[in-house]
C-alpha cells in the first residue's frame, strides 16, 4: 500500500467560534472581558482559586452543550484520503467529537483535571465542575488541565515532527499570536501546500501560505473537498 500524504491541520479558537465558543482576541473575546493574569496564570489561581475555577466551570458547561460544526467535520473527513494529524491550540474536544482520530492538544484539555502541585497528574473528570476541595491523589487542589501563561506548552516536539513531515498544512481560525505554538507553522517544508483560513481581513499570512478569508464552517469544507478530489488550491 502506498503511503498516504500527511496533512497537518493547525487550529485555534476561530474553528470553534461557529459552535458558540468564544475566541480570545476578537471583539467580545475572552481576553477582552477577562484579564489573562487573573484567569490564566498560576499566580491568578493562587490569588483567587474560586473565581478561576468558576471561570473554567462556566466554559466547561458551554462546551458540554456545544456541537462540532462544519469545519470540524470537514477536518475529520480529510481522513478519508490522507493521514491527518490535528494540532490544536483549543482546549475543547470538538475535533474528537467530529471524528478526528489524531488530535494533539498543545494548550491542554479543559474537560480534564490536573493537580495544581504536579502537572504530570492529569485525570479524566468524573463530574462537570471542579470545586474547591477536590484534590489530586497527593492531596493538592485540582484545576483544569489547561496551559496557563508561564507554563510549558504540551507535545511541542511531537507536533514539530508532524509539521516537518507535512505535505499539506491547513491552518484555521488562529491569530498566530501565542508562541511557541504559533511558531510551529514555520516548520512546514517549503514545498508543502499551505493554506490559512481566517475571518480577519487584516491578518497577514505566514510565509508561503495562501490566505482564504471567510468563516471556517464555509471555507474548510471547500478546501477539504478540493484536496480529497486531488486538486490543489493554488
Ligand atoms: P484568537 O482569539 O487569538 O484568534 C482567533 C482567530 O480566529 C482570529 O484570527 C479570528 O479572526 C479568527 N476567527 C474568528 N472566528 C472565525 C470563524 N468563524 N472562522 C474563521 N476564523 C475565525 O485565538 P487563538 O489564535 O486560538 O492560549 O489564540 C491562541 C491562544 O491564545 C489560545 O490557545 C489561548 C489564548 O490565550 C492559552 O490559553 C494558553
Q: What is the DSSP string of 20-52?
A: T---SSSTT-HHHHS-HHHHSSHHHHHH-HHHH
Percentage of residues in the chain having pLDDT higher than 70: 99
pLDDT, residue 2, reads 56
What are all long-range contacts of 47-51, with beta carbons under 8 Å and residues at least 24 apart?
49/132, 49/141, 49/143, 50/132
pLDDT, residue 1, reads 46
- Kindly report the average pLDDT of the chain as a whole number: 96
Quote the ligand 1 centre to 14 CA distance (angstroms). Answer: 5
pLDDT digits (tens, 9 = 90+) for 116-158: 999 999 999 989 999 999 999 999 999 999 999 999 999 999 9
Quote the ligand 1 centre to 171 CA distance (angstroms). Answer: 11
pLDDT, residue 234, reads 62
Q: 133, exposed or middle or buried, with CB in 10 Å at 0-12, 13-18, 19+?
A: exposed
155 is known as an active-site residue: no
pLDDT digits (tens, 9 = 90+) for 151-190: 999 999 999 999 999 999 999 999 999 999 999 999 999 9
User: In testing the pocket of ligand 1, which one of 19, 198, 209, 211 has its CB within 8 Å of the most ligand atoms?
Assistant: 198
pLDDT digits (tens, 9 = 90+) for 31-58: 989 999 999 999 999 999 999 999 999 9
Q: Which atom of ligand 1 is nearest to the CA of 176?
A: 25
Indicate which residue's Cα is closest to atom 26 of ligand 1. Answer: 12
Amino acid at each position: 500500500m502506498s503511503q498516504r500524504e500527511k496533512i497537518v491541520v493547525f487550529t485555534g479558537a476561530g474553528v470553534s467560534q461557529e459552535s458558540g465558543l468564544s475566541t480570545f482576541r476578537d471583539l467580545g473575546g475572552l481576553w477582552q472581558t477577562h484579564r489573562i493574569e487573573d484567569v490564566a496564570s498560576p499566580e491568578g489561581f493562587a490569588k483567587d482559586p474560586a473565581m478561576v475555577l468558576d471561570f473554567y466551570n462556566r466554559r466547561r458547561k458551554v462546551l458540554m452543550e456545544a456541537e462540532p460544526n462544519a469545519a470540524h467535520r470537514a477536518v475529520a473527513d480529510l481522513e478519508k484520503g490522507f493521514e491527518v494529524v490535528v494540532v490544536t491550540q483549543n482546549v475543547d474536544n470538538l475535533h474528537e467529537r467530529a471524528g478526528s482520530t489524531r488530535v494533539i492538544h498543545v494548550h491542554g484539555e479543559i474537560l480534564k483535571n490536573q493537580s495544581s502541585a504536579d502537572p504530570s497528574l492529569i485525570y479524566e473528570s468524573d463530574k462537570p465542575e471542579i470545586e474547591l476541595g477536590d484534590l489530586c491523589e497527593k492531596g493538592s487542589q485540582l484545576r483544569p488541565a489547561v496551559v496557563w501563561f508561564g507554563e510549558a506548552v504540551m507535545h511541542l516536539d511531537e507536533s514539530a515532527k508532524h509539521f516537518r513531515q507535512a505535505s499539506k498544512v491547513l491552518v484555521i481560525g488562529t491569530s498566530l499570536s501565542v508562541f511557541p505554538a504559533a511558531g510551529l507553522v514555520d516548520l512546514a517544508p517549503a514545498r508543502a501546500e499551505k493554506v490559512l483560513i481566517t475571518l480577519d481581513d487584516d491578518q497577514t499570512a505566514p510565509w508561503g501560505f495562501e490566505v482564504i478569508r471567510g468563516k471556517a464552517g464555509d471555507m474548510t469544507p471547500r478546501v477539504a473537498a478540493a484536496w480529497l478530489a486531488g486538486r490543489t488550491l493554488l
